[in-house]
Chain A
Amino acid sequence: MELIVCIKRVPQTAEAEVKIDDSGKDIVKDRLTFDMNEADSYALEEAILLKEKFGGAITAVSLGTAEAEDTLRIALAKGADNAIRIKAEEFGELDGYKTAMIIKEAIKDLKFDAIFTGCMATDDSYYQVGPVLAETLGVPHATLVSKIELTDKKVHVNRELEGGLIEHLEMSLPAVFAVQTGINEPRYASLIAIRRAAAKEIKVLGKDDIASEPKLNSTLEELFVPPVGKRAEFLTGTADEVSARTAEIIKEKGLI
């Protein structure tokens, strides 16, 4: 099987104090650490599991700056065979649509049975790359994928819906899968694999290699931290005090 995995290098903001930079359109990244987008690491693992079962090769693709090559090398160490970096620095402002269109241009001549993406990137949360890739490449797709099973040239896919529901789909290949976190257990790269990956070549594509420069679908106006609301009142004290005060408030507001 020929498999493609889209990977994004993102800042780790879950436990960091995020500040907006002077442009008002980005965050201050100086002291942040960067890593493979979480859902992408599950997408990569899913591709590796398929490769281990059915053979073939994996190409990891990332639209990113030179540092994204570190992330691509981790993908190579874990089990990808080839890696392509598309120079993000040459494409200016990006949104989900433009990102997907640039990746599509970069991979359109590659043969593939399946493309894997994370269902979302933690830095911009567009949820677009998978679906846009699929639509413009003319293949089916599934988002929020929580299980993939390949039998008799058909793919059985579970999608994780709200409310604890699971949707079971039958699809045919080639297809795009936007993978949900938790679908598998991403492996660690062994030291030997790391050493071998360090010596592998990463193909780098620039603006000149992309036939036409895709346009933005939306323009970023402003990024901001919402002001802290004054509607919440934190009650403190013993359980009895808190419950008594809660009852008072409910009465005061005429809720009962």
Chain B
Amino acid sequence: MNFDLTSDQKMLQDQVRKFADTELAPVAPEIDQSAEFPWENIKKMAKLGLLGVVVPEKYGGSEFDFVSLAIAIEEISRVCASTGVIVAVNNSLTTYPILQFGNEDQKNKFLPPLCSGEKIGAFGLTEPNAGSDVVAMEATARPEGDHYVLNGTKRFITNGGEAGIFVVFAYTNKELKHKGISAFVVERDTPGFTLGKHEDLMGIRATANCELIFEDTKIPKENLLGNEGDGFKICMNTLDVSRIDIGAQAVGIAQAALNEAIKYSKERKAFGQPICNFQMIQSMFAEMATEIQAARLLVYYAGYCKDKGMPRFSRESAMCKYYASSIAVDVARKSLQIHGGYGYTKDYTVERLYRDAKILELYEGTSEVQKIVIARDLTK
């Protein structure tokens, strides 16, 4: 048993923390308000190797492990939740499925631009009428000659408005239900692929969340990931990995909320003394800090399971995502409560953290879906 980070993980944490505090933190409030996609910072992160953390060096990545990726996402999300999820989506929802399920040509073609920041990635799964119920998706991909003809609409796609490379899911055979779903790599400039509604989100506002519309979009056959019908498996495998990063994002947001609350409570006086002296505030601090530490350990453990090569770690991944997102929402709420009325204004960071936290319980599988995954694994 060893709780210490490795030498390279410690260095990564140190450098990403400094980078986040110096480069990302100053623009986080601005991009929250403007909802502007932070391309400049994405280019800087590409230079550091943060866009392809687990991708092998030969495809332009940094070749680190999944615990390291989680550490990086946590540090980035601590100062900017938008940037945190942009990076998480590029790493675990785009480069990962291509790396894991793509053939050599696909890896050589799509991974280098995703690692270099030349293009950013997105994941097209959710539809207007299919979220938790993946099988209810309506998008179809009909084989025709040397390509597939893709039709359908994808909704709430993080990075969607700015991405250049998309992993998109559609039925190649609807009768087979989940076994008839296939996964494709779709490039932004493909004719018949347009952007729909840009979402005006409550939190993580700088993530170019956008609708994708496919109308007779011709996808070359060589862009099929794996085989026809592998889509559901690819999707579930990918989400097992990406949920670790959403857990990490939650830990980062929660840590920021606690830090802000402690800072404020030492400065704010009531009844003749700093409010951090009051037991009700202290009780909240004890709960918040304990929950954050527990969530962090669950996240690292899920990453460790993946790194160790466990064939199935859906339960561990769902546990960390479910727990970390739920405590993040609660920690942000308590932090705002400690701030009192000031926390309800945009002058204080906690107002943004409170809005950013809520998405954690909704995307990449709602908390209810995580519970289903955990419970089914326990009872199967």
Binding site for B on A (CB under 8 A): 35, 70, 73-74, 77, 188-192, 194-195, 197-198
Which of B10-18, B116-124, B268-276, B282-290 faces chain A?
B10-18
Judging by beta carbons under 8 Å apart, are A70 and B10 in contact?
yes
Chain B contact residues (Cβ within 8 angstroms of A): what range?
20 to 34
- Is B64 close to A, CB under 8 A? yes
With contacts A195-B62, A195-B64, A198-B6 known, is A188 near B18, CB below 8 A? Answer: yes
Q: Give B321 Cβ to nearest chain A Cβ, in Å.
A: 24
- Is B63 close to A, CB under 8 A? yes
A74 CA / B13 CA spacing, docked (Å): 11
- Is B30 close to A, CB under 8 A? no
Q: Give B143 Cβ to nearest chain A Cβ, in Å.
A: 40
Judging by beta carbons under 8 Å apart, are A197 and B57 in contact?
no
With contacts A192-B57, A192-B62, A195-B62 known, is A74 near B49, CB below 8 A? Answer: no
Q: Give B254 Cβ to nearest chain A Cβ, in Å.
A: 19
Judging by beta carbons under 8 Å apart, are A73 and B48 in contact?
no
Residues of B within 8 A of A197 (CB): 8, 11
Instruction: Tell me the nearest residue of chain A to B6, going by C-beta.
Output: A198
Q: Give B229 Cβ to nearest chain A Cβ, in Å.
A: 36
Judging by beta carbons under 8 Å apart, are A198 and B11 in contact?
yes
- Is B50 close to A, CB under 8 A? yes
Which of A189, A190, A194, A197 has its CB near the most chain B CB atoms (within 10 A)?
A194
Q: Give B41 Cβ to nearest chain A Cβ, in Å.
A: 12
Residues of B within 8 A of A190 (CB): 47-49, 62
Residues of A within 8 A of B6 (CB): 198
Given contacts A190-B49, A197-B11, 6 further A-B contacts (CB under 8 A): A70-B7, A70-B14, A73-B11, A74-B14, A195-B8, A197-B8
| 11 intermolecular pairs with C-beta atoms under 8 Å apart | A35-B14, A70-B11, A189-B11, A191-B48, A191-B50, A192-B57, A192-B63, A194-B8, A195-B62, A195-B64, A198-B11
Judging by beta carbons under 8 Å apart, are A188 and B48 in contact?
yes
Residues of B within 8 A of A195 (CB): 8, 62-64
Judging by beta carbons under 8 Å apart, are B62 and A198 in contact?
no
A231 CA / B141 CA spacing, docked (Å): 80
Residues 2-28 of B, flagged 1 when their CB comes within 8 A of A and 0 if not, give 000011101110110011000000000
Residues of A within 8 A of B7 (CB): 70, 73, 198
A-B contact count (CB 8 A): 49
Q: Give A35 Cβ to nearest chain B Cβ, in Å.
A: 8
- Is B53 close to A, CB under 8 A? yes
Residues of A within 8 A of B11 (CB): 70, 73-74, 77, 189, 194, 197-198
Judging by beta carbons under 8 Å apart, are A191 and B12 in contact?
yes
Judging by beta carbons under 8 Å apart, are B62 and A188 in contact?
no
Q: Which 9 pairs from chain A and chain B are nearest by CB?
A: A191-B49, A191-B62, A198-B8, A194-B11, A198-B7, A190-B49, A188-B15, A188-B19, A190-B48
Which of B11, B15, B50 has its CB near the most chain A CB atoms (within 10 A)?
B11
Q: Give A10 Cβ to nearest chain B Cβ, in Å.
A: 14
Judging by beta carbons under 8 Å apart, are A74 and B15 in contact?
yes
In chain B, positions 60-80 with a C-beta closer than 8 Å to chain A are 62-64, 68
A198 CA / B10 CA spacing, docked (Å): 10
Instruction: Tell me the nearest residue of chain B to A195, going by C-beta.
Output: B8
Residues of B within 8 A of A73 (CB): 7, 11
Judging by beta carbons under 8 Å apart, are B15 and A194 in contact?
yes
A195 CA / B55 CA spacing, docked (Å): 13
Q: Give A66 Cβ to nearest chain B Cβ, in Å.
A: 12
A35 CA / B53 CA spacing, docked (Å): 24
Instruction: Tell me the nearest residue of chain B to A78, going by C-beta.
Output: B15
Q: Give A219 Cβ to nearest chain B Cβ, in Å.
A: 34
Q: Give A99 Cβ to nearest chain B Cβ, in Å.
A: 24
Instruction: Tell me the nearest residue of chain A to B57, going by C-beta.
Output: A192
A160 CA / B100 CA spacing, docked (Å): 55
Residues of B within 8 A of A191 (CB): 12, 48-50, 53, 62, 64, 68
Judging by beta carbons under 8 Å apart, are A192 and B18 in contact?
no
Residues of B within 8 A of A188 (CB): 15, 18-19, 48
Judging by beta carbons under 8 Å apart, are B49 and A192 in contact?
yes
Instruction: Tell me the nearest residue of chain B to A15, going by C-beta.
Output: B263
Q: Give A37 Cβ to nearest chain B Cβ, in Å.
A: 14
Which of A70, A73, A77, A188 has its CB near the most chain B CB atoms (within 10 A)?
A188
Instruction: Tell me the nearest residue of chain A to B52, going by C-beta.
Output: A191
Instruction: Tell me the nearest residue of chain B to A186, going by C-beta.
Output: B18
Residues of A within 8 A of B10 (CB): 70
